[in-house]
Amino acid sequence: MDPVTRLGVVGCGLMGSGIAEVAALGGLDVRIAEATHDAVEAGRRRITASLDRGVRRGRLSEERRDRALAGLSFTHDLSDLADRQFVVEAVAENRDIKTDVLCTLDKAVEDPAAILATNTSSIPVVDLAVVTERPAQVVGMHFFNPVPVQRLVEVIPALTTSQETVRRTRDFAGQLGKQVIQAPDRSGFVVNALLVPYLLSAVRMVESGGALPDDIDQGMELGCAHPMGPLRLLDLIGLDTAQAVAESMYEEFKEPLYAPPALLRRMVAAGHLGRKTGRGFYSYHA
């Protein structure tokens, strides 16, 4: 198969905009679908601001930025992705929402060999693949935030995913300059199966009064050479996303370490979701 030249991305939040940016910088024709005009404009601003930062910091030329922006188009209608060779779904980490998107894409994308990839961070891929008429072409492709910086992609084949789909997905990740690891189709895959219990343990430590957030984060940054402490990382991920991932993992394994702590649930209920809302374990200002 030829390299992917026409990519569809569904969702233009933190993950979708990052995937679209990297693909556009790689010279692909990228069409992004979002539900509302406001979401489209927010995604466009996010991508433009990121590319502009690259120019200011000397990582990008103005010419390359402009080519990337010219390679992006936006739509509200998933049927506008009909001609895409590869589509990455990057909507909210919610089984029902992802199922609806994949069912619609399955009918909209004309090429029966086109791959539908889900950027889920915790939902078993087989549960999403079987709602389509092309389960052999559905695969997990888990990017990491921020996508333009993080080199890793987890490729997760379901029981239904063909070997050809796996090969093409690995090749596509290579087109984007990413390093691939293949992960089992179980909630959490490789990275989150190890990471989530660690993050939730940090929340429990705050919840019990055992230590302050900044002391926990400095301990892991200065004592273990982590680039970011667990509570700052939770704020970056989004506490609602972290809760959804933990709930999915707990649903599958019933392992207490995966259960979201009460403090996390209450912060999400209060709208203290981290950087994206300006307040989480820390306060953020524009």
Query: 37 phi and psi, to 5 degrees?
Result: -60, -45
Query: 224 phi and psi, to 5 degrees?
Result: -120, 5
Q: At 169, which amino acid appears?
A: T
Question: Which residue, chain included where needed, has tokens 């333009």?
Answer: 148
- Selected catalytic residue, list 89, 119, 142, 187: 142
- Selected catalytic residue, list 89, 122, 154, 187: 154
- Selected catalytic residue, list 17, 50, 119, 121: 121
- Selected catalytic residue, list 17, 187, 192, 248: 192
Q: Which two tokens stand for residue 43?
A: 């995604």
State yes or no: is 21 an active-site residue.
Answer: no
State yes or no: is 121 an active-site residue.
Answer: yes
What is the 3-state secondary structure of 209-259?
CCCCHHHHHHHHHHHHCCCCCHHHHHHHHCHHHHHHHHHHHHHHHCCHHHC
State yes or no: is 142 an active-site residue.
Answer: yes
Q: Which residues are catalytic?
A: 121, 142, 154, 192
